[in-house]
Structure 1
Amino acid sequence: MQPDPFKRLEARTLVVRQSNIDTDQIIPARFLTTTTREGLGANAFYDWRYTADDQPKNASPFPVAGAGDRQVLVAGPNFGCGSSREHAPWALLDYGFRAVVSSDIADIFKSNSLKNGLLPVEVDAETHAALLERPGVAIAIDLEECTLTTEDGIEARFAVEPFARRCLLDGVDPLGHILAHDAQIAEYEAAA
């Protein structure tokens, strides 16, 4: 399944201030029994959203029905640490998030996210602190310009590895990018 093209996202934020949110908190290991993406959003942050007897927790910042218009997760530093699992970005995407913003996002999580259509946005500490204090703020993330702006005046730039950025803009994963150049590859091979 190819990701949707990501050029500009206008949404609201869902803020979770906790630091060191690991991939087992994002999608608990007991839900890793599938190799498909569909339905994983129901289990995103499951232990934060539900009690041991599967009842919704009233204090959870995560709506039971999904992200809705809060498609940007603003999280504490060291987001996505822990074991490497593509299920984590799959679960976040299926839940309804299109981007994660933090001052520090774990490298393996960042790589898995970029390959699967979820945009990890690392911002400076000052911008991060300001976003953590503004749950629900309207935000615009422009991947073409690599800028983040809010309705109340926050502006920041961010960096994305160029090949990953190109894939996100085109709405393809790395394999999809290669397949899009199939004719040129065949032409090159024929000439060799």
Structure 2
Amino acid sequence: MTAQTRIEGMAAPLPVGNLDTDQIMPKQFLRRIDKAGLAEGLLYDMRFDPDGKPRSDFVLNRPEYAAAEILVAGPNFGCGSSREHAVWGLMQYGIRAVIAPSFGEIFYSNAMNNGLMLAALAEADVEIILADVSKPEHSRLVIDVASMSVRSRSLTAPFSLSERHRRMFVEGLDMVGATLAMRDRIDAFAAGHWRQRPWLKDIASMTKKRLA
């Protein structure tokens, strides 16, 4: 992951409540065996009509929002199934952050662990930001990860992150990196554990040797 202390860019309004992961990444795009090519499926049924033609009225199809890197969405964004493809598709499309009043719990964990910033703001604050970004000329937002704040044309609003997630973004750590950062504590715990329970150490390999 790349260190991200500040996310700045154009935001697109997507004021849809309970937008679930099935809508964010429809099932027909889950057949691939790797993460590649998921940008095509992002919000597919909202972006395209039944004939596969782009819906001109959908925000991400509008030329003035073509460079959007942030979504400002409705409550409970990312609810539904646990498919991680929804996060991968958003990131492959170029979305770096989503701002909403609330998020689906599993989606939130998937997003933060993959480097997609989610900022949960008070619903009244989200409404003000939505009003700002609904005008393309006022759609630029700044998300300050270090100070945990979002700044739009009309508002600066705070959000919260766990210390683990904030550190992962600021230091550019994925889950493995965040774990290895605690290597000394892990090693100390393991040493104490084996001192107290030496009969358990390497029990699987010893049992295998004895049975052989």
Q: Would you call these one fold, judging by a TM-score over 0.5?
A: yes
In the other structure, the counterpart of 1:160 is 161
In the other structure, the counterpart of 1:70 is 68
Q: Contact 2:55–2:61 (CA<8 Å) still a contact in 1?
A: no
Is it true that 1:81 corresponds to 2:79 in the alignment? yes
Higher helix share: 2
Q: Which has the higher contact order (CA 8 A, sep 6+)?
A: 1
Q: What secondary structure is seen at the aligned counterpart in 1 of 2:119?
A: strand
In the other structure, the counterpart of 1:52 is 50
Which of 139, 142, 146 is the aligned partner of 1:140? 142
CA-CA distance at 1:69 after TM superposition: 3.2
Which of 15, 24, 27 is the aligned partner of 1:26? 24
Supply the distance in 1 between the matched residues of 2:31 and 2:117 (Cα, whole angstroms).
25
Change (3 A) 1:190 1:131: same
CA-CA distance at 1:186 after TM superposition: 9.2
- Percent of aligned pairs sharing the same letter: 33
In the other structure, the counterpart of 1:41 is 39
CA-CA distance at 1:53 after TM superposition: 2.4
Structure 1 counterpart of 2:115, one-letter code: G
In the other structure, the counterpart of 2:176 is 175
Supply the distance in 2 between the matched residues of 1:116 and 1:72 (Cα, whole angstroms).
16
CA-CA distance at 1:146 after TM superposition: 0.2
* Runs of at least 4 residues off by over 2 Å: 34-38, 176-182, 184-192
Change (3 A) 1:178 1:64: farther
Supply the distance in 2 between the matched residues of 1:61 and 1:112 (Cα, whole angstroms).
25
Q: What secondary structure is seen at the aligned counterpart in 1 of 2:52?
A: coil
> In terms of mean alpha carbon deviation, does 156-165 or 171-180 score higher?
171-180
- Alignment gaps of 5+ in structure 1: none
Number of equivalent positions? 187
Which of 115, 125, 128 is the aligned partner of 1:127? 125
Supply the distance in 1 between the matched residues of 2:165 and 2:33 (Cα, whole angstroms).
23
Q: What secondary structure is seen at the aligned counterpart in 2 of 1:62?
A: helix
Tell me the alpha carbon deviations over residues 121-152 of structure 1, each in whole angstroms, 9 at most, x when there is no partner: 100121111112222411100000001111x2
Q: What secondary structure is seen at the aligned counterpart in 2 of 1:101?
A: strand
Tell me the alpha carbon deviations over residues 46-91 of structure 1, each in whole angstroms, 9 at most, x when there is no partner: 11111222221212211389x7531110011111110111111111
Supply the distance in 1 between the matched residues of 2:4 and 2:142 (Cα, whole angstroms).
12
Structure 2 counterpart of 1:144, one-letter code: A
